[in-house]
Amino acid sequence: MKRKRRIVFLAWLLIGLGLLNTGTVLAKAEGTELIQAPHGVLMEASTGTIIYEKDMDTRVKPASITKIMTLILIFDEIEKGSLHMEDEVITSAYAKSMGGSQVFLEEGEKQSVETMIKCIVIASGNDASVAMAEHIAGSEGAFVEKMNERAKGLGMENTNFEDCCGLTESDNHYTSAHDVALMSRELVTKYPKILDYSSIWMDTITHVTEKGTSEFGLTNTNKLIRSYDGCVGLKTGSTSVAKYCVSTVAVRDGITLISVVMTAPDYKVRFKDAAAMLNLGFGSCSLYVDENKKPLSDIAVEGGVKEELACDYEGAFRYLDTKGAALDQIEKKIKQKDKVKAPVKKGDLAGTAEYYLDGKKIGSVNLRFREGTKKAGYSDYVEKVWERFWKGKQAV
């Protein structure tokens, strides 16, 4: 037993000194005891790479971490233009009746969407969550259906929601550490605006009701906001059944990590475990990013109305390394089509940009046509001949 402890101590000492490179395998090794909670996962946000996991796919109770999906749906509506930050949301009697963590909204009380978001992500307001669900979908039940549809779209295979706030103790309301990481990643990468709110330590809202006007203080339930360098979110949860959970987001040196802890025995272990995984990640990860801003050559089109078409990278390329590789040695090879036949549609594949490290392919990015062209007809050829004739005549 003493020998085992010495090995564990030595491993973490080497990690701390930067002499040992860690990856998923090392992090999963039995006996390291990185976290005390039974379920956890550490994910790099931009690539979705899992750096560490402990029983991450077991179904567990999510408590208020449920609200991450609620926030995704809220921002989905904002992106669609059907909801705006300044829109007023009216609290129903049902929303007011929610127990647990709340911001004490009164029936008929009006608050802006932005204020409701703050109430949900900072103070974990159950009443605010239900008020938003009703505002968007008409009822909490209809909203929950949307939550489950969205979860399926994200590949959350071990998740089913029965309410929008996590207050329920139903056995049919469950998720997993992995699924929490997936929806956390969706929220913070697609809607980074949420981090402006989840990183707030304290704020106030103003209740305006028949009883008068009063201020109510919001205090962030995520204590790592103040105690962990780079922490910017995201959501905590706790009930007697779910115990203590947290999805923590932290950013350092351009790397965004998501640390999820589920079913911790107490709140101290919840935050300690989340910080331990973040330390592991920031201590062992390097991120290579190619934004792919350099213009690409046009591609010739055979038999088209347009004789050349421009193309673009589908997006940036990101590669996460946990083994201390020399990322400055990454090679990029562009494999672009020399010529294509019309017709060509906008978005058709125009080639790939491939990336290699030590001779091994580590990833690629597709190249897509920026525009399309139809197949040239008789009149198009006549027009081309006529244009060339006049250009030649003007040059004489």
Catalytic residues: 64, 67, 124
Tokens of 156: 């959350």
What is the number of residues in the chain? 396
Residue among 98, 96, 115, 99 at smallest CA distance from 107: 96
Q: Does residue 269 sit in helix, strand or coil?
A: helix
In the chain, the amino acid numbered 89 is V
Which run of H or of E encompasses 110?
Answer: strand 110-112
Asked if residue 42 lies in contact with residue 278, where contact means CB atoms within 8 angstroms, the answer is yes
Tokens of 296: 């690409």
Q: What is the DSSP letter of 394?
A: H
Tokens of 312: 């673009």
Task: Say how many Å lie between the first and final Cα of the chain, rounded.
Answer: 94
Q: Does residue 115 sit in helix, strand or coil?
A: helix
Q: What is the C-alpha separation between 276 and 287, in angstroms, rounded?
A: 20
Q: What is the C-alpha separation between 203 and 216, in angstroms, rounded?
A: 9
Q: What is the C-alpha separation between 23 and 57, in angstroms, rounded?
A: 19
In the chain, the amino acid numbered 270 is R
Handedness of CA 6, 12, 16, 19 (dihedral sign): positive
The residues facing 313 across adjacent strands are: 367
